[in-house]
Amino acid sequence: MRVPGEMGRFIEWFNRTAPGGIEGLPALTRAGIAHLYFESIHPFEDGNGRIGRAISEKALAQSVGQPTLTALAATILIHRKEYYAALEAANQGNEITVWLNWFAGIVFEAQSRTAISIEFLIEKAKLLDRLRNQLNERQQKALLRILREGPEGFEGGLSAGNYAAITGASPASATRDLADMVEKGALLRRGEGRYTRYFACLRISSGDGMPLVPKRMMPSGSIR
């Protein structure tokens, strides 16, 4: 079989091109090639994608000399269809510039997603600490449900109907609870009438430092 020999050559190349190696490559170039190289060999029946993404993350970590926290795997999975198309196209020949450009864009997006996720966790902790003992049981349950969705928030925003379904509150109680949460700074209100939606009161910046608006918001080392 050719796979063991190809894997041996891959590992030798990976170590040779590492930072400080005899043929060191730029971080993004090496990580992108490593992923494509490994996926082209495809040594296992299952799990090649996960391992390939881990290899890319290792390559990026080696370039800064320490473990890194990135959302590379998650970002690739978000763009899964484009990812498979880019891999297939790159496997058709020896010209891989288009693949490397695509991969570099994914890495930059992953870095931005990571920064936003960390900021979200910090803001979430601050919000829950500030509201400690200020919300009733229904309000706490609804807020935690919103926060569970991460930086982008509850799909479509939280409506009074959603609140009632989550907490079992009557329509009148839902209206009172939501108004109280807005007053206490737990939620932000957007829209009017039946289009009113609520979002967790978090100040999260995008990768360029601008406030992040939930995209679904209603209008208004070596391998061994």
Q: Where are the domains of the chain?
A: 3-115, 131-200
> What is the pLDDT at residue 215?
37
Any idea which architecture 131-200 has in CATH? Orthogonal Bundle (1.10)
The mean predicted confidence, pLDDT, of the chain is: 88
CB 140 within 8 A of CB 181: no
| Whether the domain at 3-115 and the domain at 131-200 fall into the same CATH topology | no
pLDDT digits (tens, 9 = 90+) for 168-178: 999 999 999 99
Closest Cα to residue 109, out of 204, 198, 191, 208? 208
pLDDT digits (tens, 9 = 90+) for 35-75: 999 999 999 999 999 999 999 999 999 988 877 778 898 89
CB 44 within 8 A of CB 51: yes
Q: Is CATH 1.10.3290.10 the classification given to domain 3-115?
A: yes
In DSSP terms, 187 is beta-bridged to 200
For residue 28, how far is the Cα from the chain centroid? Answer: 19
Q: Does the pLDDT at position 77 exceed 50?
A: yes
Q: Mark out the alpha helices in the chain (DSSP H runs).
A: 3-16, 27-41, 48-64, 72-78, 80-90, 97-130, 137-147, 160-167, 171-183
The pTM of the full predicted model, rounded to 2 decimals, is: 0.71
